[in-house]
Amino acid sequence: MKKFDYIVKVSEGLHARPAGLLVKCAKDCSSDIKILNAGKSADAKRLFSVMSLGVKQNDKITLTAEGNNEDNDLEKLKLFCEKNI
């Protein structure tokens, strides 16, 4: 399993639009992708699961990838986060 931490920069946090984009990116990954925030975990491939975390601006999230392609998948998610959230 690989992981990385990211501080959310968008003022709205992970509301519907950026959460939906994150889910779309995660669904393109072959690995199992999880997002962790404040001791809670969610399947990053499920919109309602991601939104239930209530991620706000300046929250530190951790994204994990577990699977055969975890290095590439995590790199894809890092790029996504830097551009979108």
Query: Which positions are catalytic?
Result: 15
- The pair phi, psi for residue 74, each rounded to 5°, is -65, -35
**In whole angstroms, what is the distance from residue 32 CA to residue 54 CA?**
21
* Cα-based distances in Å from 59 to 7, 10, 71: 6, 10, 24
